[in-house]
Amino acid sequence: MLCPECNKIIDDDSRFCRFCGVEFIGEEEQIEIIREDGTDYSTGEDETTFFTESETDEDGDETAYEKDKRKKTFSIQLVIVIVVLAIIGSVIAAVGFGTGMFGAGKETVTDAAGEKVRPGWGTTEITVKDVDGTIRVIESDKSLVTPSQILTEYTEVVNSLKDDAPAFSITRYQNLPSDKQNLGSVAEFVLPIIEKYVTSKSAAKTEDVIAGNSNRLPVKDSSYGCLLTDETKIKNAYCEILPDNMYKIVMTFNDELNPSHLAAGAESSDGIINAVFDPYDAAEQITAISSMVMHDINFNYTDCTVTLIYDCDTKQVDSVNMTMNIDITAKTILMDIKARIVDVTEFTGFVY
């Protein structure tokens, strides 16, 4: 039934309204309502109108109570839809104005049987599993086979990139994997609206950045290109020798829940994501609009991957691709919401 005091939906057998505290006393057809301050709001012609399940409409098909409940439920769902759009729209919009995040997808280092491995010192051939599932053997530099060695090399190259600050181009795009969206009963008409926030790869525009603009490169709020020092935070890593003296470093990191922003000018970080990428804290931005329906909201950054291609002698960068999977989970008064945004940023065309 509906509480006649605050007009919210409560259980039919409730003695108190869980929203405003009003107490209900009496039979179904004649309910006496006593507020906490003692004011009597018994039902009557001049009192607040409300419905019981014994009341019917003219056709006798659906009770007035049920109609009103259905309308209320739809209204709450509409509010949830708006909040979901605001959450995802805020994340995507912020990504569009942020600095270098994201790249080409998850790649894992495996042995011939498909098991994950971290090759030991001296290995020159390792087996990797590409994003499309292809397993292949690659040649790797003897000095770049452990996560610690690879992280050290990556840090040296991207720190040098920040110092040099060459001209380059940025291309950003996003997608919403259909199998990662769980928006409950409103999904059918919410997803097409959400997709309007998303820039597909085919529609992405490339922005040219002039030389000297190092803050457009990762990491945004630091003079360093990488602040991560703990190799145990790396899930998988390998270095592949390419033709023409080029090396390819791929690192995929452990998951991180609600990563913090990096302080301006930071020279170190205890986190994972803000030490390599540029996370966006959407929770703060949507607090005001979500407080009515959100009990809890979290952002889990999962399988975030960076791919760096560079000249192994000069350390000059050819490209940097960064991919960040952001899993959004939110508890509402009607349902739990789950959605994933995959955001990709490609740094190319470096001119030293």
Handedness of CA 91, 94, 95, 98 (dihedral sign): negative
CA 221 – CA 218 distance, rounded (Å) = 8
- C-beta of residue 170 within 8 angstroms of C-beta of residue 205: no
Q: State yes or no: cis peptide before 276, omega within 30 of 0.
A: no
The pLDDT of 315-319, averaged and rounded, is 97
Which residue, chain included where needed, has tokens 């789950």? 338
Predicted local distance difference test score (pLDDT) of residue 30: 39
Does residue 299 have a pLDDT over 60? yes
Q: Convert the pLDDT of each residue in 111-155 to its tens digit.
A: 444 444 444 444 578 888 776 778 888 888 888 988 999 999 999
- C-beta of residue 150 within 8 angstroms of C-beta of residue 144: yes
Q: Convert the pLDDT of each residue in 242-256 to its tens digit.
A: 999 999 999 999 999
For residues 175, 85, 90 and 83, what is the CA-based torsion angle, rounded to 10 degrees? -150
Predicted local distance difference test score (pLDDT) of residue 92: 59
Predicted local distance difference test score (pLDDT) of residue 320: 97
Residue 320: beta bridge partners? 308, 347
Predicted local distance difference test score (pLDDT) of residue 274: 93
- C-beta of residue 96 within 8 angstroms of C-beta of residue 345: no
For 124, the 3-state DSSP assignment is coil
Residue-range domain boundaries for the chain? 79-351
Q: State yes or no: cis peptide before 209, omega within 30 of 0.
A: no
Q: 53 is written with which tokens? A: 């399940």
Predicted local distance difference test score (pLDDT) of residue 115: 47
Confidence of residue 51 (pLDDT cuts 50, 70, 90): very low
Mean pLDDT rounded to a whole number for the chain? 75
- C-beta of residue 321 within 8 angstroms of C-beta of residue 306: yes
Which residue, chain included where needed, has tokens 């010192």? 121
Q: Convert the pLDDT of each residue in 54-83 to its tens digit.
A: 444 555 555 555 655 555 566 666 666 666
Confidence of residue 46 (pLDDT cuts 50, 70, 90): very low
CA 338 – CA 26 distance, rounded (Å) = 42
Predicted local distance difference test score (pLDDT) of residue 35: 44
Q: 71 is written with which tokens? A: 């309308």
Which residue, chain included where needed, has tokens 């509402």? 332
Looking only at the bridges linking them, the beta strands covering 336-351 and 294-311 are: unpaired
Buried b (16+ CB within 10 A) or exposed e, 287-309: eeebeebbeebebebbbbbbbbb
Does residue 34 have a pLDDT over 50? no
Predicted local distance difference test score (pLDDT) of residue 177: 85
CA 47 – CA 44 distance, rounded (Å) = 5
